[in-house]
Amino acid sequence: MFSSKNKISVRQLQILLILDIFGMGVTFLPKKMVEFGGQNGWICVIIGVIFACICAWISASLAEKFPDDDFVTYAGKIVSKPIAIIITAGFVLKIIFSLSMELRIFSEIVKQTILFNTPSYAISFCMLIVGAYGALKGYEIRGRIAEILIFVIFIPMFIIFGFIASGADYTNLMPFFDTNNTEILYGGIFSLFTFSGIEFILFAYPYLKNKKTAKKESVKAVVFVGIIMILITVITIAKLGPFDIKNQIWPVLELMNTVDLPGTFLERQDAVVMSFWIMSVFIIVNAGVYFSCLLTKHTIKKGKNIWYVVIISAIIFSISLIPGDISEIINITDKIYMSFGAIYIFAIPFLLLIIAKIRKLGDSFENTERKN
């Protein structure tokens, strides 16, 4: 499961990053951006994309210095093993808590839109079981599945948003730049944290067949996701208007569920629209379980893989049951974004990279190739 022989291509890394980043955050991104920037909330997303690209470059630069080491090993070389274990434990907690809340949000959305009489815990359990089973199959299998799902997820989405965009009222985006600059900046910082998944770059390098172009291609993947998020935010604001968006919990999903596809013969069109989004949630759950188990196994270095998956999945499921209502879930999610997100998307990789450079640790690709 966690063997270094689990190799993927740089193209698969790109696809995995796109799918790992794109997920739950986009469902409430326009609402949050409108709260910060009103009709100019899309500007916040642009700022967030710029920040996200910088964070991706920092994380890739750090992992690139230790291309054959897992995160626990090279963090131990940089700041000592005890501190590396503490950092890794924080990473695992960040992934577990984030995934727990995203799993709960997913189950609440499915319950409210499709499976009205199904308990939310049953929906969470089913998704978690499927994601955990996928995690057991290893990184290479994740890459192969992602190559299929990216078309299943994004092609329907592009078609749906194409129809929505054609009927949107773009005067809802005006007046331009008529918002407090400080609020726009705060919105940009918050939108950065919806790019949760960038930190997975730190763990991917030992599994890459060709590491030379990984940094550049990783940044390209973030740019791709960023452009999609900008377009979704622009189209949502243009179609619904900033006032209506503020009064809805899931404006993006509401927008997709109301589109009338021409010539359709489906009675439950909303279920079809939701299906590709459900697949993207599977990838997120799969990634969360996989990387939390990976980091824990690299830290403890004992035990069978399946027990890590079972125990961590049980913890994730239990935490997902704690929040009471949807407002509490969103509030907890925001706090996770602003605390763990800030630390592990930017601060930890940046500090580790600076310390590694100061201590002149890590090999260039040229040196690594000579050794090999």
User: Who's near 93: CB < 8 A, 6+ residues apart?
Assistant: 340
Residue 141, both tokens: 């299998």
pLDDT profile of the chain (372 residues), mean per 10: 65 89 76 85 90 93 90 91 93 90 86 82 91 86 86 82 83 78 84 83 87 89 91 88 81 71 54 71 88 90 87 92 78 77 87 92 57 45
134's CB contacts (< 8 A; 6+ apart) are 141, 142, 145, 282, 286, 290
**One-letter amino acid for residue 113 of the chain:** T
Question: Which pair of structure tokens corresponds to residue 195?
Answer: 């790019």
pLDDT digits (tens, 9 = 90+) for 107-128: 888 887 777 888 888 999 999 9
* Token pair for 317: 């499921």
The C-alpha atoms of residue 105 and residue 60 are separated, in whole angstroms, by: 30
pLDDT given at position 262: 60
Q: What is the largest CA-CA distance in the chain?
A: 65
Is there a cis peptide before residue 262, judged by omega within 30 degrees of 0? no
* Segment holding 279, helix H or strand E: helix 269-300
* Neighbouring residues of 101: CB distance < 8 A, sequence distance ≥ 6: 320, 323, 329, 332, 333, 336
> What distance in Å separates the CA atoms of residue 240 and residue 251, rounded to the nearest whole number?
8
Question: Three-state SS for 8?
Answer: strand
199: tokens are 């930190």
Return the closest-CA partner of residue 45 out of 246, 186, 196, 256. Answer: 186
Query: Any idea which residue has 């920040």 for tokens?
Result: 51
Q: What is the pLDDT of residue 3?
A: 46
DSSP 3-state of 303: coil
Q: What is the pLDDT of residue 350?
A: 94
**pTM reported for the whole predicted model:** 0.85
Contact between 65 and 77 (Cβ < 8 Å)? no
What's the pLDDT score for residue 370? 45
Look up residue 148 and give its amino acid.
I
Contact 29, 164 (CB under 8 A): no
Per-residue tokens: 92? 């695992």
* CATH code of the region 10-259+268-353: 1.20.1740.10
Q: Residue 208 is which amino acid?
A: L
